[in-house]
């Protein structure tokens, strides 16, 4: 066959396949995977720069390297090109579709111009400036099984957990599988929804549980080969309690080398048995502090006892230093706002952050509702405005509920402004504050809005057309700032419209 004709036929075939180069791998852990690379994006080079421990501790504003934005879970960007004066000029720059068929909950990470975003059993590498896909890694499972909140990055690796608890390390430039570890069994009703947390030379994972069958834990694995280094069980092995999932990415203090983790609740029948609830050695419904190297417990704080509803502690743990005071801020699902001494776990201050609060059914309707006063979605702390931004849900059991974005004074819990969220869809709406004096938030209506960080006034909006279950993040490429969010199964990227 004429060589030119053969080349043309190959080119047509690749075009029809979307430019895929497909490789399959069955590794020693019996994890069958598929990696696809975009041949049409060969001119786009993924950075060979390695991500260091210092990068994660002092993340440059141009990158978004950690699920929560930084180790302290502040969900704040120091970028200011997009500000409260020009945010009205924000426009979509690109939209990337993930054909997962589900409402994704992933928050992307970005390193040196490449974005990594996840679905339940997939990782996608995207050019962060153009939205061009670079590679896709998939585990051979049902694609819409479960949910996933994101990936982690360190060195030349992307760290990710499949829905059935396989922790994998992928080459960040190619998507090729480096190692995998089946750290929990789906047959025992374990599953994974969280983004890994890289700490030092380890990657730390929690787990989701079938509450009636399993015990939660936090575990650390070697970044070199995935071998388990330590495991901290949050319930005793032969005790009566089950559940206590640890499914939300924790926070980390690099100075004290301490990992902070939120622990979920136990089944209703066990929560109502006060003697069982207080079983020694149980850490359900608590915040725990662990030594990062050994996994040994430093302290435990149970925020409230004998709650009537599943209002567990799986919310972001926001760390802040005020002079010599090492604090943790937490707006809890039970309706209380807590300021905690993170050296010892003592509660310094607590106050309701919703209008109606009642945990005692004998005194009237229970408030907040079953959905809680907030949930796992990120809050945000701005060092610029010195305000704490949190998504709240007002309403009692059996009543209609209303979301509000609220700005609070961190030490007193005083509400500085309230913004009513539009839409009645059940949604999980996280917040992002920036050095441009802007707070970005999705709405139940499918809108993404920009609010003035000091007043709460709406400055800009965009209708995504999707229910949103994710949180916005920010990064820059070649000096230009972008804001991105996953809406439905789309990654939508925004930047300033600039006149030609």
Sign of CA dihedral 336, 394, 314, 111: negative
User: Does residue 9 fall inside a structural domain?
Assistant: no
| Nearest alpha-carbon partner for 268 in 214, 313, 307 | 307
162-175 burial code (b ≥16 CB/10 A, e <16): bbbbbbbbbbbbbb
**Rounded to an integer, what distance in angstroms lies between the CA atom of residue 366 and that of residue 398?**
9
From the CB of residue 66, how many other CB atoms can be counted at a distance below 10 Å? 26
Question: What is the count of structural domains for the chain?
Answer: 1
**Rounded to an integer, what distance in angstroms lies between the CA atom of residue 395 and that of residue 401?**
5
User: Does residue 448 fall inside a structural domain?
Assistant: yes
Domain of 439 in residue numbering reads as 17-496
SS3 category, 217: strand
pLDDT value for 3: 46
**Rounded to an integer, what distance in angstroms lies between the CA atom of residue 333 and that of residue 357?**
11
Residue 460 carries which DSSP code? E
**Rounded to an integer, what distance in angstroms lies between the CA atom of residue 384 and that of residue 398?**
39
User: Does residue 484 fall inside a structural domain?
Assistant: yes
User: Does residue 10 fall inside a structural domain?
Assistant: no
pLDDT value for 15: 36
Length of the chain: 500
Kindly report the CATH number assigned to the domain that includes residue 202. Answer: 2.140.10.10
**Rounded to an integer, what distance in angstroms lies between the CA atom of residue 294 and that of residue 314?**
23
User: Does residue 1 fall inside a structural domain?
Assistant: no
The pTM of this model reads 0.92
**Rounded to an integer, what distance in angstroms lies between the CA atom of residue 283 and that of residue 265?**
9
Query: H or E stretch including 426?
Result: none
pLDDT value for 73: 98
CA distances (Å), 451 to each of 394, 428, 454, in order? 20, 18, 9
| 382, β-bridge pairs | 387
User: Does residue 235 fall inside a structural domain?
Assistant: yes
CA distances (Å), 336 to each of 91, 350, 429, in order? 37, 6, 19
Q: How would you write the pLDDT of the chain (500 residues) with one tens digit per residue?
A: 554 444 344 333 333 344 444 333 334 344 556 667 766 666 677 888 999 999 999 988 899 999 999 999 999 999 999 999 999 999 999 999 998 767 789 999 999 999 999 998 999 999 999 999 999 999 876 544 578 999 999 999 999 999 999 999 999 999 999 999 999 998 888 999 999 999 999 999 999 987 667 899 999 999 999 999 999 999 998 877 888 999 999 999 999 999 999 999 887 655 556 556 677 888 988 999 999 999 999 999 998 776 778 788 888 999 999 888 999 999 999 999 999 999 999 999 999 999 999 998 899 999 999 889 999 999 999 999 999 999 999 999 988 889 999 999 999 999 999 999 998 776 678 999 999 999 999 998 999 999 999 999 999 999 999 889 999 999 999 999 999 999 999 999 999 998 65
Query: H or E stretch including 15?
Result: helix 3-16
Query: H or E stretch including 281?
Result: none
User: Does residue 3 fall inside a structural domain?
Assistant: no
pLDDT value for 4: 45
Going by DSSP bridges, is the β-strand pair 76-77/432-434 parallel, antiparallel, or unpaired? parallel
User: Does residue 4 fall inside a structural domain?
Assistant: no
**Rounded to an integer, what distance in angstroms lies between the CA atom of residue 147 and that of residue 153?**
19
């Amino acid at each position: 066959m004429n060589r030119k004709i053969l080349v043309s036929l190959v080119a047509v075939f690749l075009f029809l396949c979307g430019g895929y180069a497909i490789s399959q791998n069955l590794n020693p852990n019996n994890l069958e995977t598929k990696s696809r690379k975009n041949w049409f994006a060969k001119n786009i080079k993924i950075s060979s720069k390695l991500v260091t421990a210092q990068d994660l501790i002092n993340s440059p504003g141009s990158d978004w390297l950690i699920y929560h934005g930084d180790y302290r879970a502040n969900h704040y960007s120091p970028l200011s090109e997009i500000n409260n004066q020009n945010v009205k000029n924000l426009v979509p720059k690109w939209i990337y579709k993930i054909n997962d068929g589900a409402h994704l909950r992933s928050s992307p990470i970005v390193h040196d111009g490449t974005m990594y975003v996840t679905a339940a059993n997939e990782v996608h590498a995207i050019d962060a400036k153009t939205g061009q896909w670079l590679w896709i890694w998939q585990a051979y499972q049902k694609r819409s099984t479960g949910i996933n909140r994101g990936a982690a990055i360190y060195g030349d690796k992307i760290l990710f957990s499949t829905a059935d608890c396989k922790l994998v390390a992928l080459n960040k430039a190619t998507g090729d599988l480096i190692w995998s570890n089946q750290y929990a069994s789906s047959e025992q009703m374990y599953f994974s929804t969280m983004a890994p947390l890289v700490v030092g030379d380890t990657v730390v994972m929690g787990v989701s549980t079938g509450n009636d069958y399993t015990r939660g834990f936090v575990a650390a694995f070697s970044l070199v080969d995935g071998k388990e280094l330590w495991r901290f069980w949050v319930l005793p092995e032969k005790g009566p309690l089950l559940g206590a999932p640890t499914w939300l990415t924790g926070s980390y203090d690099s100075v004290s080398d301490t990992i902070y983790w939120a622990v979920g609740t136990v089944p209703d029948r066990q929560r109502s048995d006060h003697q069982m609830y207080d079983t020694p050695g149980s850490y359900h419904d608590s915040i725990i502090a662990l030594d990062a190297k050994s996994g040994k417990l430093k302290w435990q704080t149970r925020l409230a006892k004998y709650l009537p509803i599943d209002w567990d502690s799986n919310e972001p743990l926001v760390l802040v230093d005020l002079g010599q005071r090492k604090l943790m801020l937490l707006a809890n699902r039970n309706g209380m706002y807590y300021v905690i001494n993170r050296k010892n776990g003592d509660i310094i201050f607590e106050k309701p952050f919703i209008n109606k609060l009642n945990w005692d059914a004998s005194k009237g309707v229970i408030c907040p509702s079953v959905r809680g006063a907030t949930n796992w979605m990120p809050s945000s702390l701005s060092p610029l405005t010195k305000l704490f931004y949190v998504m709240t849900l007002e309403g009692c059991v059996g009543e209609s509920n209303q979301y509000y974005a609220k700005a609070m004074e961190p030490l007193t819990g005083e509400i500085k402004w309230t913004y009513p969220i539009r839409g009645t869809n059940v949604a999980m709406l996280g917040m992002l504050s920036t050095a441009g004096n802007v707070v970005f938030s999705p709405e139940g209506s499918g809108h993404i809005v920009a609010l003035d960080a000091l007043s709460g006034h709406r400055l800009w909006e965009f209708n995504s057309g999707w229910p949103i279950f994710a949180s916005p993040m920010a990064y820059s490429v070649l000096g230009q700032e972008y804001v991105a969010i996953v809406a439905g199964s789309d990654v939508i990227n925004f930047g300033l419209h600039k006149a030609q």
